[in-house]
């Protein structure tokens, strides 16, 4: 109607899904990300998770924990589930997806790679480690979700610059695979992996520090920007 509008500058955008039942993540899912670390291309999706309490808004702060000195960025395409399903056929998988949004899979690499028995969970799920937004773009509004540029910049310097066409396992494959193990429900979030350019595999490694600004953007989906505090 146009009658119920406020200026964007006066509104604080929250994460488009704030309290999902599940935040499901995929590791090693871009060919270029495997190459940058000398890892073999997985034969099956590598699944881990974040707690929903890690979610924060598209322009909110990322809190740098005192417990890590190796804070890293990971721009990711996120799919939002819109229809309940279990043992979903790959051919029907997109029927269970409402739409897509931008995520940053913030990671404490020391906890992910060396501590806690090298299980990934703690290093991935500190509070504020999942900025999400700026909105859900319905799948019908995206021309081809597997042909979008995906980028991340830190303090204006481009760190990641790739395309979703380099995904190893595409969205329908991931939805079908995960649904073999758990029931997917509306609001569940599926982070699909990050391309090359993360800090830990740079030579020398580069990690986020307080005061840094991280901008993640995906073509047709928008941009999120978070300051590290």
pTM: 0.95
pLDDT at position 4: 84
Strands (E), the chain: 23-27, 46-50, 55-56, 71-72, 75-81, 97-104, 107-108, 130-138, 149-154, 157-163, 189-191, 213-218, 222-227
pLDDT 10s digits, 16-61: 998 999 999 999 999 989 999 999 999 999 999 999 999 999 999 9
Distance CA 54, CA 58 (A): 13
Could you report how far apart the first and last alpha carbons of the chain are, in Å? 39
Which pLDDT band holds residue 6 (cuts at 50, 70, 90)? confident
pLDDT 10s digits, 60-115: 999 999 999 999 999 999 999 999 999 999 999 999 999 999 999 999 999 999 99
Q: Is residue 62 part of a domain?
A: yes
Cis geometry, peptide bond prior to residue 47 (ω within 30 degrees of 0): no
Per-residue pLDDT at 1 exceeds 80 = no
Q: SS3 letters for 126-166?
A: CCCCEEEEEEEEEHHHCCCCCCCEEEEEECCEEEEEEEHHH
Q: Is residue 116 part of a domain?
A: yes
CATH number at residue 30: 3.90.850.10
Only one residue has tokens 């760190």, namely 159
**Beta strands at 189-191 and 75-81: parallel, antiparallel or unpaired:** antiparallel
Question: Are the CB atoms for 190 and 169 separated by under 8 Å?
Answer: no
Q: Is residue 71 part of a domain?
A: yes
Per-residue pLDDT at 2 exceeds 80 = no
Domain, as residue range, for 26: 14-228
pLDDT 10s digits, 108-151: 999 999 998 888 999 999 999 999 999 999 999 999 999 999 99
Average pLDDT, the chain: 96
Counting the structural domains of the chain, the total is 1
Q: Is residue 7 part of a domain?
A: no
Q: Is residue 8 part of a domain?
A: no
Only one residue has tokens 């480690």, namely 129
Q: Is residue 23 part of a domain?
A: yes
**Which tokens hold the place of 190?**
């599926």
Q: Is residue 4 part of a domain?
A: no
Q: Which residues of 112-140 are buried (b: 16+ CB within 10 A; e: fewer)?
A: beeeeeeebeebbbbebbbbbbbbbbebe
Q: Is residue 3 part of a domain?
A: no
């Amino acid at each position: 109607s146009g009658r119920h509008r406020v200026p964007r500058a006066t509104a604080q955008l929250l994460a488009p899904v704030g309290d999902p039942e599940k935040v499901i993540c995929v590791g090693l899912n871009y060919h270029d990300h495997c190459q940058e670390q000398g890892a073999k291309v997985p034969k099956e999706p590598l699944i881990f998770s974040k707690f929903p309490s890690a979610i924060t808004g598209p322009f909110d702060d990322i809190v740098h924990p005192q417990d890590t000195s190796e804070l890293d960025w990971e721009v990711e395409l996120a799919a939002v589930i819109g229809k309940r399903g279990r043992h979903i056929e790959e051919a029907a998988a997109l029927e269970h997806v409402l739409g897509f949004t931008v995520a940053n899979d913030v990671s404490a690499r020391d906890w992910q790679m060396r501590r806690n028995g090298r299980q990934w969970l703690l290093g991935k799920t500190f509070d504020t480690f999942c900025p999400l937004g700026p909105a859900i773009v319905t799948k019908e509004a995206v021309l081809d979700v597997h042909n979008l540029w995906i980028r991340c910049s830190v303090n204006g310097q481009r760190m990641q610059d790739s395309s979703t066409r380099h995904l190893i396992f595409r969205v329908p494959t991931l939805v079908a695979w995960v649904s073999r193990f758990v029931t997917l429900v509306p609001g569940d979030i599926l982070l699909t992996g990050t391309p090359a350019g993360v800090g830990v595999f740079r030579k020398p490694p580069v990690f986020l520090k307080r005061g840094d600004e991280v901008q993640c953007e995906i073509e047709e989906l928008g941009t999120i920007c978070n300051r590290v505090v």
